Amino acid sequence: MVWRLLQQVRLLDPVNRQDQHADVLLAEDQLVAIAPADVPADAEIIPAADWVLAPPLVDLYSHSGQPGYEARETLDSLLAAAAAGGVQHLTLLPTTEPVIDDPALWEALQRQIPPTAWSQVRVWGALTQGCKGTALTDLAELAASGVVGFCDDRGLTHWPLVQRALTYLQPLGKPVALWPFDPALAANGVARQSGVAIRLGLVEQLVCCETIPLLAILELARTVSTPIHLMRLSTARSVEILAKEKPDHLSASVSWLHLLFSVEDLVNYDPNLRLDPPLGTTSDRQALIAGLKTGVIEAIAIDHTPLLYEEKMVSFAEALPGAIGLELALPALWQELVAKEYLSALDLWHALSTAPARILGIEPPRLEVNSRNFVLFDPTATWQVTHQSLRSRARNTPFWQQSLRGQLVPFSPSINSGRTH
């Protein structure tokens, strides 16, 4: 048995809003005691004042390549990436092939999840058949099968259908994740409406592509009690609207890259920054961060989207949208938002762990003794983002072959879980 005493490690408890330093005793990778009264004589003493010990992360929505797109990402590589990033609760979108619109498909996927995986997998069931937005799935059957909620991962503007779904789902108590996005208004827009987009010669996507469906969803929310989650907010105007009109049974999230980059970063036409929704202006980015601080936006989603090299290495407008993030979100967000004091450490951990859990209807993770359910994070560790360091099979990230600061400590409980290469 290897004993380790972490001296004055930083403990984050976002549930109780506590941020303090204390000695912590580990046995191998299990948390044995906080402020231990007795320490084994052979325990390794490790100065850990720069390290963070906190509950594991919870991701609201991400994409799996399996089934159907295993060349992009397998379940094994996805779970290994989640473990390396401290994400213990992974929630998959239903847009696999086939789409998860039937309980049998979710049950088949569950059988493929390795029982030894550190990360737990949940899934959003499809709201409509085939995620095509025309006919509802059997919502009651899917709910009974254990899906966490319902989502089509697309902008739905068939409002009678949305209203009917929200009404049917009231007695089931499952959340509905809706992306406020109008594809007809968006047309072929690939950059947020701005002078920068015009200067770069990129087709603009108007702000109203997001705000018009957002207002429609808010009006529908007045008529039901079904929990509604707004995905992928990306504009200052959306934050402004929600600050005035947000009902109690509605929550919101922002994808992590929209907190780090803006349309100004498209100057090099990096296809890894081709996202849906597109990156906003600097004002949008600032408003999204402010929305997290005030609670208008509760959560940060990683929205991990693995894609093949040939799906990304084309012209910016032709590249498929999306980026990976399970291993990258925590260090990048810490360095940009916490180290620069835009958010507190507790604010960040709340948005990545406590709030997503509450939105999904699961118990928020807490630090518990005699448990392997924790993240030990070193914000000062520097590493290079390469195929050798990443566990995801994909490499579509704007951080590719760059240095990042922040990484899980090598003896964290998840760190040796499921390496695939």
Number of residues that make up the chain: 421
**Beta bridge pairs of residue 344:** none
86, 90, 98, 183, 236 from 156: Cα distances, Å: 32, 24, 20, 9, 21
Q: What is the phi-psi region of residue 93: left when phi exceeds 0, alpha when psi lies from -120 to 50, beta otherwise? A: beta
Token look-up 């009678």 returns 160
Return d(Cα 29, Cα 413) in angstroms, integer.
5
Q: Are 378 and 59 in contact (CB under 8 A)?
A: no
Return d(Cα 331, Cα 118) in angstroms, integer.
20
The stretches of 135-281 forming alpha helices (DSSP H) are 139-144, 159-168, 183-186, 195-200, 208-221, 236-245
Quickly count: other Cβ atoms within 10 Å of residue 174's Cβ.
Answer: 21
**CA proximity to 203, closest of 213, 214, 194:** 194
Pair of tokens at residue 220: 């529908």
**CA proximity to 81, closest of 402, 409, 391:** 391
Return d(Cα 192, Cα 263) in angstroms, integer.
7
83, 183, 236, 254, 270 from 285: Cα distances, Å: 28, 22, 8, 10, 19
Token look-up 């807490």 returns 366
Return d(Cα 415, Cα 70) in angstroms, integer.
23
- 59, 76, 101, 303: which is the annotated catalytic residue? 303
Burial of 185 from C-beta contacts in 10 A (0-12 / 13-18 / 19+):
middle
Burial of 410 from C-beta contacts in 10 A (0-12 / 13-18 / 19+):
exposed
76 in catalytic set: no
**Pairing, β 52-54 against β 299-301:** unpaired
- Report the catalytic residues: 303
